[in-house]
Amino acid sequence: MPAIVIIGAQWGDEGKGKATDLLGSRIDYVVKFNGGNNAGHTVVIGNQKYALHLLPSGILTPGVTPVIGNGVVVDIEVLFDELDALIARGVDVSKLRVSANAHLITHYHRTLDKVTERFLGSRSIGTTGRGIGPAYADKINRVGLRVQDLFDENILRQKVEAALDQKNHLLVKIYNRRAISADEVVETLLSYAERLRPMVADTALELHHALEAGKNVLFEAGQATMLDVDHGTYPFVTSSSATAGGASTGSGIGPGQISRVVGIVKAYTTRVGAGPFPTELFDASGEFLRSQGFEFGTTTGRPRRCGWYDAPIARYSARINGVTDFVLTKLDVLTGLETIPVCVAYEVDGVRFDEMPVSQSDFHHAKPIYEEFPGWSDDITGARSFDDLPVAAQNYVLAIEKISGSRISVIGVGPGRDEVVVRHDLLGDW
């Protein structure tokens, strides 16, 4: 029963697609267990480029059953936009399964996300504006709408009216916006219900059967460890569990069924939105990483903040997630640098921290302590084995492996799906 979890080990956009591509045809199910259409992955197949936000990447792999788990928040309008775009390009989407317990994002969640961010001004989180936070807030507040509510019009109407009773007061009296009509929300949701019905399932039960039958099930986290609502840089986080534990609560499989946790880590660091980022660069080096790595958001198009590799964060992620293997992505982006600084620890008010400080204020003030490693100038995109890499690149990988808390099993050396060096098979014996 091989359940393998893939998580982002930094602040997102580490390139999880590298690992999913590599596992490709050996996977039977790909499960999204957290987040919603705030994610963004670009998948390149042949000369076709697909930008997915809500759908699990497995939707593009023939033979794979893609699953949207109960931990996801589903914007049903986006779901069908993405499905229709894929259908128009000849992709078979008929295998998609959607949990009856997943929560829905509606018009009022999107509106509230945007107005609260505006209201926060300089204290804003820099959310994607997709309604993620308000939808999860409703879930925890027990006033959310679930996929199964679409099939009982009375219940749906009652729930929408109850939610809007309170939210319209907020919108009108605090935020000076127009009230949202419950009828319109209900009508929009119901207009998708019949199309959604055949996809809706008890996905926890289906995954249980799949694992019992020895199928390979891949759990793919949205966002990343440092954006996790419990373990990330709160409050500058997303509102879901983006760490390996979330794979269990967000899909309904037992934690004991997880056999492998793959952490995706970039050879440097990026972040979108506000919040602390000790190794952030504001100089030409930051510009170099942004332009070489094409670091612009898939979902919002925002330029990503860029900085050097941060080993305490990798170690923290290895620990919080129980990472068994790292996939180091975008090593090629560092080609051409004379020396490459790596953050090995922090200094906070004269005190050295080898691990992530638990206090948010300390982390805000953390200054990176760097070690420098020699760079390389040879193009590495053609490397397919570790020995093909220039010695300086090998040494960089070995040095960061030593201080990052787990072995580096795969190295990304270029944007193409085959541009990888595999040191250990992610599904092989450990």
- Rounded to whole angstroms, how far apart are CA atoms 20 and 26? 10
- Rounded to whole angstroms, how far apart are CA atoms 401 and 393? 12
Distances (CA, A) of 381 to 46, 176, 395: 17, 54, 17
Among 40, 250, 263, 286, binds ligand IMP (CB under 6 A): 40
- Rounded to whole angstroms, how far apart are CA atoms 342 and 374? 11
Tell me the residue type at 354.
D
Among 145, 272, 337, 397, binds ligand IMP (CB under 6 A): 272
Known active-site residue 41: yes
- Rounded to whole angstroms, how far apart are CA atoms 37 and 78? 8
Q: Which of residues 130-189 bind ligand IMP (CB under 6 A)?
A: 130, 132-133
For residue 284, give every residue at least 6 positions away whose Cβ sits within 8 Å of its Cβ, in sequence order, or none.
none
Cβ proximity to ligand IMP, 127 vs 203, nearer residue: 127
Task: Check residue 273 for interaction with ligand IMP (CB under 6 A).
Answer: yes
Among 13, 75, 138, 149, binds ligand IMP (CB under 6 A): 13
Give 179's DSSP letter.
P
Distance of closest approach, residue 312 Cβ to ligand IMP, in angstroms: 20
Which helix or strand (DSSP H or E) is residue 402 part of?
helix 391-403
Nearest to 375 by CA among 327, 425, 314, 333: 333
Known active-site residue 13: yes
Task: Check residue 110 for interaction with ligand IMP (CB under 6 A).
Answer: no
Q: Give, to the nearest 10 degrees, the angle between helix 107-120 and helix 153-169.
A: 20
- Rounded to whole angstroms, how far apart are CA atoms 339 and 127? 34
Task: Check residue 99 for interaction with ligand IMP (CB under 6 A).
Answer: no
Residue 260, beta-bridge partner list: 4
**Residue of 13, 149, 325, 332 with catalytic role:** 13
Among 10, 37, 38, 324, binds ligand IMP (CB under 6 A): 38
Distance of closest approach, residue 20 Cβ to ligand IMP, in angstroms: 15
Distance of CA 296 to the CA centre of its chain: 15
Nearest to 127 by CA among 51, 235, 209: 235
Q: Which of residues 213-252 bind ligand IMP (CB under 6 A)?
A: 223, 227, 236, 238-239
Give 26's DSSP letter.
G
Distance of closest approach, residue 38 Cβ to ligand IMP, in angstroms: 4
State the number of binding residues for ligand IMP (CB under 6 A).
Answer: 19
Distance of closest approach, residue 222 Cβ to ligand IMP, in angstroms: 6
Cβ proximity to ligand IMP, 125 vs 267, nearer residue: 125
- Rounded to whole angstroms, how far apart are CA atoms 238 and 48? 30
Per the CB < 8 A criterion, the answer to whether 5 and 258 are in contact is yes
Tell me the residue type at 337.
L
Distance of closest approach, residue 161 Cβ to ligand IMP, in angstroms: 26
Distance of closest approach, residue 130 Cβ to ligand IMP, in angstroms: 5
Task: Check residue 334 for interaction with ligand IMP (CB under 6 A).
Answer: no
Nearest residue to ligand IMP, by Cβ distance, number only: 273
Task: Check residue 128 for interaction with ligand IMP (CB under 6 A).
Answer: yes
Cβ proximity to ligand IMP, 150 vs 226, nearer residue: 226
Task: Check residue 72 for interaction with ligand IMP (CB under 6 A).
Answer: no
Distance of closest approach, residue 27 Cβ to ligand IMP, in angstroms: 21
Strands 3-8 and 258-266, by their bridges, are parallel
Distance of CA 87 to the CA centre of its chain: 24
Among 12, 69, 245, 286, binds ligand IMP (CB under 6 A): 12
Stretch that binds ligand IMP, among 35-43, 213-221, 256-264, 409-417 (CB under 6 A): 35-43
Q: Please list, residue by residue across 396-421, b when 16 or more beta carbons sit within 10 angstroms of its beta carbon and e when fewer do.
A: bbebbbebbbbebbbbbbbbebebbb
Q: Could you write out the DSSP letters of every residue in 24-39?
A: GGG-SEEEE-SB-TT-
Among 125, 218, 328, 421, binds ligand IMP (CB under 6 A): 125
**Residue of 41, 103, 109, 208 with catalytic role:** 41
Rule CB under 6 A: which residues touch ligand IMP? 12-13, 38-40, 125-128, 130, 132-133, 223, 227, 236, 238-239, 272-273
Which residues form the catalytic set?
A: 13, 41
